[in-house]
Each structure stands twice: as structure tokens, then as C-alpha cells.
């Protein structure tokens, strides 16, 4: 009996069935991406947004139509989020962050290199707000309009003073310093030093903790000051009834705050991008406009900033804010009694006179002291304290400490039979400064000498280097700075000793250059190499 052949389904039917199966599978996949999710499959993206954009982000998140993804927004200042992104702080549980500017990424990247964390990379921009210069209505504009170059002092001091928001807490402050530095010529630190010094001269007025307070102070002023803030801050000031001010985009360019979205790790990048697309939509743009921000696709433009310039400029700002605490070691060995050619005066006389004038240039808040060194200065010690380190403006029954230091310098005399107990004196001075270390000051041992160490009973260079390297604390730095002059100096040895503490040594033509160094003291705070630092 023959078996009847099984009838195969028509090809069209097979294709139809396969199509249904494929469609159902694709549908399941799509539902997981943006449609309906199964019970318990909904995920949460925790987003920390800078307070400047947090209201718009929160409103957009509440309307975010994604059944598989929920956005939970918290407000977090960018300065704090940077610590998390750089691996220096781990308390935050956020999956992603919106900073107010990509300028912070330079700091996060630097921290990540120290901690071993992944260097943060933005997935896109959430909004824009250009930096503007603002003046009160009572302040007349310069003839050519407000520019960064107009902040530079000229011979008649007609420049406008710069006010900023604290650059360590607000990106507009960082951006303002970067543009002010660029406006004066990136290689000219003299003008930038003046800007830094003036910006920090009256902290209550010039360096505000927030833009709102800065704008309120500016609106009441009539001096020649301008404030650098974001366009959003000016719009918020006007919307909340603040006194009228005049804002202008600088004629020589500006920086735009770009509100980057950064994912903490790559696992949630796709989720973050989906929400970013909503922020970049028309609905998102309307929420941004309510708080004075431009959408990310607005052509606001702006200067490109090298990340290294951001780090350098912030370090300059921090250094400028520090006071000066300095112990000066003055060589009084026999060779200091030699005359400086063409002057008719000895090295000792000129050194003491230049230091006396230099001390007069330091502010009252600075701290200074003087030691003399040679051999046999105090029993077997090769050094002796002439004036302890103290606040120059401090007053006692004998007068100010500044006067005491200057009088001590006036009593300096070379010791005819004295050798140079350089190394023992440096170590003792270093330990004294370390014991009295102040974190709010630059702590320096300034060494002035015309010779090399020749103290027979003292420590060797090798022993000194070993002690300095062992005792130097980078968290509480005390730097040795050497200034050497005369034909008998060993500048290489003095450099090795200074560099063991993060300092260095310089050769001067003669002691008459000491006063010039004090005249440049502000620039020296922000410059690594006095040989390249400008005067003024």
C-alpha cells in the first residue's frame, strides 16, 4: 500500500508565518527600549544636575514618556560633582551628571589621573549660556565697548576693574579669568597679575559666592567695575526684579557654558542619551527658556579653551589668594664684605639695604623673619635669629614687626673670619617653618648667599638632601628658594637642595636685583620661574 505524500504548505504561507514571528520578536525588543515593559523591568537613571539647570531637567524628567526608564533628578553643584567624577569622592550614587561647563572636565580629568578613575567624557550638551560682561547703569561704557582687553591697566589707570563669581565654585568665574588672561596676551603675566590682585582686593564686592549677590552689588555701584557672569544669571536677575544693569557680549570674544552630560561609567550611556534627546527637543527647549538658558543647538559660539590653561589659571588664582610667610636666611660670612664693582659698597651693605626696601613692599598681612648665618653665630650653631617670623603689621610696645625686621636687617654686618654654614642653616630654617606651617600662606625659606657650604663641622649635601626629602610633606609644603650671587657660588648644589623641597635657585648678577624680585612678588606667586616672570 502506497504512503500518500505529505502536502507541504505553500511558500507564501511559510513566509507569512515567519514574518509574524519576526515582527513579534522585534516588537518585544522595541517594547523594552521605549514601549511597555514587563513588571519589574523599569530602570532608574539617577541624574545629578547643577542647580543652574536642575529646574528644567526636573520638569523634563517628570514629563519624560518612557515606560522603561525613570529619571530621578537631584541638584548638585558642579564643583562637588567634579570630585565624584575624578574619583576623589565616592558618596554620590548618581549614574550621570550635568555640569554647568566643560571647563570642569579639566579638573575632573586631573583628579582621575591621581586616583586611577576613568577620565570622564561627555555624551552631549544639555544647554548653553554665553559669558557676558555687565556694568551698572551709572557706569559709562568705554568708547569701544566692553572687551577683555579693556580690563587691562594702562598708563593712566583707566581700565575697568573686573568682578567675578568665585572660580572655585562657579564656572563663570573660571571662564572670566581665562578670557581676561587671553585678552591681555596669554604670555603676559604682568597684566594678568594686576587683574588677579584687583579681583581679590575686596572679597565682599569683587569675589561673590553666587551670581545673584554679585549682580545686586554691581547694580548699586558707580565705580568703574564690570562683572563677568553667564547670560542666564542676568536674565534671572531681571526676572526676579533686580535693579537694571547693562549686559554685553565682549567685543573680543567669550566663552559659552555648555552644560555637558557625563555618564559615571559607560553602562548607562544609552539611557542618558535617550533623556538628553528629550532635553534637546522643543519641549525641553521651552523648559530651558523658562530659566534663562539657550537650547544646546543654539549657535551661541565661544572660544575654545585648552584644558591645561584651565588648570594653570585656577592654580594662579589659588596662589594669588595665599598670603606670604617667609623666613629669610642672609649670608654674613667674610666674603660678604667684598665690594660690588661700580657701587663703592659691599655685598653685605647692598643686600641688607635691598631686603629692607623689599620688606616695605610686602602687605601688613604677610609674615616675615630674618636669620643670619655663617659659622659660630650662636655657640656652635652657624645661624642666629635676628627677628622671628611674625605678621608685619603686628604691633608691640616696640613698634610694628615690620620695623623690627627692618632694624634687624640694618644691624647686619659681615663676620670677617666667618665661613659659610649653609646646609645646617637651611635645615634648621626649614624645620622652623614646617613647625609653624600655615595652610593659608605660601611658606618659604628664602636663602641669600654669595658662597658655597664650607662649614667643616656641619652636615654634607648628601645628608641634607636625605633629611629634606624625608621631612618634606607635599600636603604641607615648605619651599626653599635660593638667590645666589658672586663668583664663588655653587648654583648647582643650591638648586639640588632647593628642588628637594619643590623650590629652586637662581643666579643674580649682584645683590641689587633683590629689590626687583620683591617688586615682582605678586607675579612670582603665579609664575614657576622668576627668570621668565615679568616686572610689575
Average pLDDT score, the chain: 84
- Predicted confidence at residue 37, as pLDDT, reads 67
Enumerate the β-bridge partners of residue 411: none
% of the chain residues with pLDDT over 90: 50
- Predicted confidence at residue 23, as pLDDT, reads 44
pLDDT digit string (tens) for 466-521?
Answer: 999 999 998 899 999 898 888 888 899 999 999 999 888 888 887 888 877 665 55
Q: For residues 447 and 479, what is the distance between their CA atoms, to the nearest angstrom?
A: 11
Q: For residues 412 and 328, what is the distance between their CA atoms, to the nearest angstrom?
A: 13
- Predicted confidence at residue 486, as pLDDT, reads 83
Q: Which residue has the higher pLDDT, 461 or 267?
A: 461
What average pLDDT does range 361-384 have in this prediction?
A: 93
User: Considering the entire predicted model, what is its pTM?
Assistant: 0.68
Strand 441-449 with 96-98, pairing: unpaired
- Predicted confidence at residue 118, as pLDDT, reads 82
* Number of other CB atoms surrounding residue 513 within 10 Å: 16
Contact yes or no for 133/230 (Cβ under 8 A): no
As to burial, measured by CB atoms within 10 angstroms (0-12 exposed, 13-18 middle, 19+ buried), residue 459 is middle
What average pLDDT does range 199-228 have in this prediction?
A: 78
pLDDT digit string (tens) for 405-428?
Answer: 999 999 999 999 999 999 999 999
Residue 198's pLDDT band (boundaries 50, 70, 90)?
low
Residue 209's pLDDT band (boundaries 50, 70, 90)?
confident
Rg, C-alpha atoms of the chain: 32
What average pLDDT does range 432-452 have in this prediction?
A: 93
Q: Which residue has the higher pLDDT, 523 or 120?
A: 120
**Range with top average pLDDT, 107-111, 157-161, 415-419:** 415-419
Enumerate the β-bridge partners of residue 378: 381
What average pLDDT does range 430-449 have in this prediction?
A: 94
- Predicted confidence at residue 303, as pLDDT, reads 76
Three-state DSSP class for residue 192: helix
List strand residue ranges (DSSP E) for 54-178, in order.
69-75, 96-98, 122-125, 129-136, 161-165
Angle made by CA atoms 346, 349, 353, in degrees to the nearest 5: 140
- Predicted confidence at residue 182, as pLDDT, reads 82
Q: Which residue has the higher pLDDT, 23 or 153?
A: 153
Q: For residues 191 and 534, what is the distance between their CA atoms, to the nearest angstrom?
A: 9
In the chain, count H helices and then E strands.
19, 21
* pLDDT above 50: residue 2: no
- Predicted confidence at residue 520, as pLDDT, reads 55
Contact yes or no for 196/188 (Cβ under 8 A): no
Q: Which residue has the higher pLDDT, 202 or 89?
A: 89
What average pLDDT does range 227-255 have in this prediction?
A: 94
Contact yes or no for 401/393 (Cβ under 8 A): yes
pLDDT digit string (tens) for 13-67?
Answer: 444 444 444 444 444 333 344 445 665 678 999 999 999 999 999 999 999 988 8
* pLDDT above 90: residue 222: no
* pLDDT above 50: residue 178: yes
Nearest to 180 by CA among 210, 151, 143: 151
Q: For residues 204 and 207, what is the distance between their CA atoms, to the nearest angstrom?
A: 6
Q: For residues 73 and 56, what is the distance between their CA atoms, to the nearest angstrom?
A: 10
Q: Which residue has the higher pLDDT, 91 or 498?
A: 498
Q: Which residue do the cell numbers 627668570 mark?
A: 531
Q: What is the DSSP string of 195-216?
A: HHHHHTTSHHHHEESSHHHHHH
Q: Which residue do the cell numbers 561609567 mark?
A: 265
pLDDT digit string (tens) for 281-337?
Answer: 999 999 999 999 999 998 767 777 888 888 888 887 887 778 889 999 999 999 999
Residue 526's pLDDT band (boundaries 50, 70, 90)?
low
Amino acid at each position: 500500500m502506497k504512503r500518500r505524500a505529505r502536502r507541504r504548505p505553500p511558500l507564501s504561507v511559510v513566509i507569512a508565518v515567519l514574518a509574524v514571528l519576526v515582527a513579534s520578536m522585534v516588537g518585544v525588543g522595541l517594547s523594552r527600549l521605549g514601549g511597555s515593559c514587563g513588571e519589574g523591568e523599569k530602570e532608574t537613571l539617577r541624574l545629578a544636575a547643577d542647580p543652574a539647570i536642575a529646574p528644567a531637567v526636573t520638569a523634563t524628567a517628570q514629563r519624560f514618556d518612557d515606560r522603561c526608564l525613570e529619571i530621578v533628578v537631584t541638584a548638585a553643584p558642579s564643583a562637588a560633582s567634579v570630585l565624584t567624577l575624578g574619583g576623589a569622592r565616592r558618596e554620590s550614587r548618581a549614574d550621570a551628571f550635568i555640569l554647568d561647563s566643560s571647563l570642569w572636565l579639566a579638573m575632573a580629568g586631573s583628579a582621575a589621573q591621581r586616583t586611577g578613575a576613568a577620565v570622564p567624557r561627555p555624551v552631549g550638551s544639555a544647554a548653553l549660556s554665553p559669558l557676558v560682561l555687565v556694568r551698572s547703569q551709572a557706569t559709562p561704557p568705554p568708547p569701544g565697548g566692553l572687551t577683555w582687553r579693556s580690563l587691562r591697566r594702562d598708563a593712566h589707570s583707566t581700565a575697568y576693574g573686573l568682578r567675578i563669581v568665585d572660580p572655585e565654585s562657579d564656572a563663570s568665574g573660571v571662564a572670566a579669568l581665562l578670557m581676561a588672561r587671553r585678552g591681555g596676551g596669554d604670555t603676559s603675566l604682568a597684566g594678568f597679575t594686576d587683574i588677579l590682585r584687583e579681583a581679590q582686593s575686596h572679597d565682599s564686592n569683587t569675589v561673590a559666592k553666587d551670581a545673584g549677590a554679585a549682580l545686586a552689588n554691581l547694580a548699586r555701584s558707580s565705580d568703574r567695575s564690570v562683572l563677568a557672569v553667564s547670560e542666564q544669571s542676568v536674565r534671572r536677575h531681571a526676572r526676579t526684579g533686580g535693579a537694571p544693569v547693562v549686559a554685553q557680549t565682549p567685543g573680543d570674544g567669550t566663552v559659552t557654558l555648555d552644560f555637558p552630560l557625563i555618564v559615571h561609567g559607560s553602562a548607562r550611556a544609552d539611557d542618558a542619551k535617550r533623556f538628553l534627546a528629550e532635553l534637546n527637543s522643543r519641549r525641553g527647549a521651552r523648559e530651558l527658556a523658562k530659566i534663562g538658558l539657550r537650547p544646546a543647538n543654539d549657535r551661541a559660539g565661544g572660544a575654545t579653551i585648552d584644558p591645561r590653561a584651565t588648570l594653570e589659571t585656577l592654580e594662579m588664582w589659588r596662589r594669588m589668594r595665599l598670603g606670604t610667610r617667609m623666613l629669610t636666611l642672609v649670608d654674613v660670612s667674610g666674603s660678604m664684605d667684598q665690594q660690588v664693582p661700580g657701587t663703592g659698597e659691599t655685598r653685605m651693605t647692598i643686600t641688607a639695604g635691598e631686603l629692607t626696601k623689599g620688606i616695605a613692599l610686602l602687605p601688613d598681612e604677610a609674615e616675615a623673619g630674618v636669620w643670619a648665618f655663617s659659622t659660630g653665630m650662636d655657640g656652635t650653631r652657624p645661624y642666629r635669629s635676628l627677628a622671628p617670623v611674625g605678621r608685619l603689621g603686628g604691633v608691640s610696645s616696640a613698634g610694628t614687626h615690620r620695623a623690627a625686621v627692618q632694624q634687624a636687617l640694618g644691624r647686619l654686618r659681615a663676620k670677617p673670619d666667618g665661613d659659610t654654614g649653609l646646609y645646617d642653616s637651611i635645615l634648621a630654617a626649614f624645620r622652623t617653618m614646617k613647625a609653624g606651617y600655615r595652610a593659608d600662606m605660601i611658606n618659604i625659606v628664602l636663602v641669600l648667599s654669595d658662597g658655597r657650604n664650607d662649614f667643616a663641622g656641619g652636615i654634607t649635601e648628601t645628608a641634607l638632601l636625605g633629611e629634606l626629602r624625608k621631612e618634606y610633606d607635599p600636603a604641607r609644603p615648605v619651599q626653599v628658594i635660593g638667590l645666589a650671587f658672586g663668583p664663588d657660588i655653587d648654583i648647582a648644589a643650591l638648586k639640588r637642595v632647593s628642588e628637594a623641597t619643590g623650590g629652586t635657585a637662581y643666579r643674580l648678577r649682584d645683590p641689587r636685583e633683590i629689590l626687583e624680585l620683591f617688586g615682582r612678588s605678586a607675579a612670582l606667586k603665579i609664575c614657576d620661574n622668576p627668570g621668565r616672570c615679568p616686572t610689575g
